Structure 1
Amino acid sequence: MKTVLVSLIAIIPILGFAQKKKDLKSSGNPIFPGWYADPEAIVYGKEYWVFPTYSDKYENQVFFDAFSSKDLVHWTKHKDVLDSSNVKWAKQAMWAPAVLEKDKKYYLFFGANDIHPGEVGGIGVAVANKPAGPYKDLLGKPLIDTIVNGAQPIDQFVFKDKEGQYYMFYGGWGHCNVVRLKSDFSKLVPFSDGTLYKEVTPKNYVEGPFMFERKGIYYFMWSEGGWTGPDYKVAYSMSENPLGPFKRIGTVLVQNFDIANGAGHHSIIHNPKSDKYYIVYHRRPNGETAANHRETCIEEINFDKDGKIIPVNISKSGVKMDGL
C-alpha cells in the first residue's frame, strides 16, 4: 500500500503538468522561454513561425533558433536553423532575421558583423527547402555591404507589393533606406530613376522597420529610442503608397514599467481566418537590467474607425488561442 501511495504521489505532478498544458487557452508572455529579441513572425500554411535573434553577448550571437505554433499558445523550438558556419563571411554576431517563402523555397535575410566603415559585413540572405532549415548562404557574400545615406545595413524587412515587386526596408543609426530586389534575391535592381537606394526615414526613426498592408493602406512601423534602455518603443505611419511618404502618427506599444520596459523591434502577423492582427515584439522584464535579457512576447492589435492602430498595453497574459 505504501509503495502504491508513493507511486501515485510521484506521478501527480506529471499529470498536473500535462493537464495544465492541455487546458492552456492563452499564450502568456513570454511566449517561449529564453532570451530572444527582434522577432520576425510570419504565417507559413497552417502554422505561425517566429524567427528571433538569440539575445546574448556579441560573440555568442552566431546562430538562429526558430519557433512554430498552430495556435499561438503551444510552441515548438527548432534549434540552430542557421549559424555562422554556413555563412563564411559572418565572423561575428548575426541578428534581426527577416523571412519569406517564394516558389516553395524559404528565405532568411539577416544582419551580420555590425558593420562600421571599413569593416566587412552587412545584410545577407540564406535559403532552405523548409521553414525549419537548415538554411545555407545564398550568395557567399553580403547583399548590401556599404553604408548609404547614413543607414547602417541592419534590421532588414522584405515586403512584396501587389505587382509582385519585392522591396527591402532596412537601416540603423537613425536612417532608413528602401531598395528593390531582383526576383531571385541575388542583387538590387534600380528604381525607375536609375537609383538603387532611396531614403524614407520618418521622424524619430532609429531602427527595426516593418510594413504590412490592410484595406489598401500601408502601415510602416519602426523602433525609437535606445535598445539597451527603457525608452525603446514602436511607432507607425500610414500611407497609400508602399514607398511613402511616411508621416509619424503615434506610438503603438505603450509600456507598463511594472511588467517590462524596452518594448520594441517587432513584427506583425495576421490570421486571415479570424481576421485578427498580432504584434510580436521583445521586451526586458521588470527587474532585469542586462541589455541582452530580452524575451519575445505577443499582443493583439486593434484599429479604430479610421484605421489607426489603437495603442497596445503590454501584458503578462499574451493572447488567446487562435488557429489558422
Structure 2
Amino acid sequence: MKRFLICLSIIFCSKTIAQNIISDQQKNNNPIFKGWYADPEAIVFDKTYWVYPTFSAPYEDQVFFDAFSSPDLVHWTKHAKILDTTAVKWAKIAMWAPSIVKNKNKYFLFFGANDIQNDNQVGGIGVAIASKPEGPYKDYLGKPLVDKFHNGAQPIDQFVFKDKNGEYYLIYGGWRHCNIAKLKPDFTGFIPFKDQTVFKEITPENYVEGPFMFIRNGKYYFMWSEGGWTGPDYCVAYGIADSPMGPFKRIGKILQQDPKIATGAGHHSVIKTPNSEKYYIVYHRRPITENKRDSRETCIEEMHFDENGFIKPVTITNEGVKAHLLK
C-alpha cells in the first residue's frame, strides 16, 4: 500500500510539474529566444519555422548572422553564424535585416551591409546562397546587388516578395524612401519595367524603413516601420492595394509600444501557417528595463483581421503565442 501511495505521489508530482512547464511555456514565450536580436524575418520552410534576425550590437560588431528554427514557435534552436564577413569580402560592418527565399532548391539570403551614406561608398544590398536554410551561406554575386541611392532610398532593409504569378520583387529602402524592383529569375540583377525604369518608388505616408508585403484574399498588404528606431514612437503601419506597385494609402498603426512592457516595437515580418488562416507577426522591441539602443529582443504575437479584411491592432505581450505544430 505504501509503495502504491508513493507511485501515486510520483505520478501526481510528475503531472503537476508537466502542467507547470506547459503553463510557463504559455506565459513566457516572449522573447522567443535569448540574446539581443532585431529586424526578424520569419518564414516557413517545409514543416519548420525559421527566423533570420539582425544581431543587435554596435555596427562594428554586426559582422555575422545567426538563424533560429522551431517546430512549434515555442522551442527554438540556434544556428550560429550562418553567414559572416569572411564569406562576403566587400562587407565590413553593419550586416542588417536579412530576407530569405527558396528558389529552385537553393536558399537565397538578401542582406544589407556597411550602412553606406552615399553613392561613393562600398556596400548596400547583397545576396548569399546555400543548399540548406541553416547554411552555411556564401556570397552569390561577389559584389552588392544594389549599391546606389535610387530615388533617395538608402539600400538597406531589403524584403524579397514572391508574387502570385511567380515573379520576384525586391522591396527595400531606408531614409524615408521605399523602392520596388523586379528581380531576374536567377537573382543576378533586375528586369526593367515597361517604361525602362528599374527602381520605382512606392513610399507611403510616414514610411521610414522595414518594408514587408503579403497577399490575402487577392489584396496586397504592404507594411512598414515608422518613427525612430531608438525611440518610443517606433511602430508598424500598413496599407492595402490591388498591385505590388500600389499606390498604398496608409490605413493606420497596428503595432506599437506598451510602456508597461516594452518600447520601440517595430521592424517586423509576418508568417501565415500553411493550410490555415493563422497569421503571426514577428518583431523586435526594447524591454522597459533597458535603455541602450541595441538592447532589442525578438518577439511574436498572433495577428487578426476584421470582417472587412483590415488588420486589428496587435497587443504586445510577455506571453507571446502557444505552441503550433505545422501539419
Where on the TM-score scale, by shorter chain, does this alignment land: which range?
over 0.9
* Residue number among 129, 132, 148 corresponding to 2:131 in the alignment: 129
Runs of 4+ residues over 3 Å off in structure 1: 15-19, 21-27
Looking at structure 2, the residues matched to 163 and 126 of structure 1 have their Cα atoms a distance apart, in angstroms, of 24
Partner of 2:214: 212
How far did residue 88 of structure 1 move? 0.2
Structure 2 unaligned spans of 5+: 1-12
Partner of 1:105: 106
How far did residue 188 of structure 1 move? 1.3
Residues 20-99 of structure 1: matches in 2 within 5 Å?
20=21, 24-25=25-26, 28-99=29-100
Judge which range, 251-260 or 102-111, deviates more.
Answer: 251-260
How far did residue 25 of structure 1 move? 4.5
Partner of 2:3: none
Q: Secondary structure at the match of 2:151?
A: coil
Query: Is contact 2:233–2:256 with CA below 8 Å preserved after alignment?
Result: no
How far did residue 116 of structure 1 move? 1.1
Partner of 2:182: 180
Q: For the structure 1 residues 18 and 61, does the alpha-carbon distance in structure 2 shift closer, same or farther, using more than 3 Å as the test?
A: farther
Q: Secondary structure at the match of 2:30?
A: coil
Looking at structure 2, the residues matched to 24 and 274 of structure 1 have their Cα atoms a distance apart, in angstroms, of 23
User: Aligned partner of 1:152: which letter?
Assistant: Q
Query: Is contact 2:256–2:264 with CA below 8 Å preserved after alignment?
Result: no
Judge which range, 202-211 or 24-33, deviates more.
Answer: 24-33
Looking at structure 2, the residues matched to 163 and 285 of structure 1 have their Cα atoms a distance apart, in angstroms, of 41
Query: Is contact 2:40–2:284 with CA below 8 Å preserved after alignment?
Result: yes
Question: What's the CA shift string for 1:156-206, capped at 9, x where partnerless?
Answer: 001111211111110000000001100000011101111111000000000
Query: Is contact 1:299–1:319 with CA below 8 Å preserved after alignment?
Result: yes
What is the number of residues matched between the two proteins?
311
TM-score (norm 1): 0.93
Question: What's the CA shift string for 1:55-100, capped at 9, x where partnerless?
Answer: 0011001100000001101111100000010000001120100001
Q: Secondary structure at the match of 1:312?
A: coil
Looking at structure 2, the residues matched to 25 and 254 of structure 1 have their Cα atoms a distance apart, in angstroms, of 22
Partner of 1:312: 314
Partner of 1:171: 173
TM-score (norm 2): 0.92
How far did residue 273 of structure 1 move? 3.3
How far did residue 323 of structure 1 move? 1.0
Looking at structure 1, the residues matched to 145 and 95 of structure 2 have their Cα atoms a distance apart, in angstroms, of 14
Looking at structure 2, the residues matched to 84 and 271 of structure 1 have their Cα atoms a distance apart, in angstroms, of 33
Residues 225-240 of structure 1: matches in 2 within 5 Å?
225-240=227-242
Looking at structure 1, the residues matched to 123 and 149 of structure 2 have their Cα atoms a distance apart, in angstroms, of 10
Looking at structure 2, the residues matched to 244 and 236 of structure 1 have their Cα atoms a distance apart, in angstroms, of 12
How far did residue 275 of structure 1 move? 1.8
Q: For the structure 1 residues 232 and 27, does the alpha-carbon distance in structure 2 shift closer, same or farther, using more than 3 Å as the test?
A: same
Q: For the structure 1 residues 130 and 303, does the alpha-carbon distance in structure 2 shift closer, same or farther, using more than 3 Å as the test?
A: same
Partner of 1:5: none
How far did residue 24 of structure 1 move? 3.3
How far did residue 20 of structure 1 move? 2.6
Q: Secondary structure at the match of 1:179?
A: strand
Q: Percentage identity across aligned positions?
A: 64
User: Aligned partner of 1:86: which letter?
Assistant: A
Partner of 2:281: 279
Structure 1 unaligned spans of 5+: 1-11
Query: Is contact 2:235–2:265 with CA below 8 Å preserved after alignment?
Result: yes
Report whether the alignment pairs 1:323 with 2:320: no
How far did residue 268 of structure 1 move? 0.2
Partner of 1:9: none
Looking at structure 2, the residues matched to 179 and 266 of structure 1 have their Cα atoms a distance apart, in angstroms, of 21
User: Aligned partner of 2:139: which letter?
Assistant: D
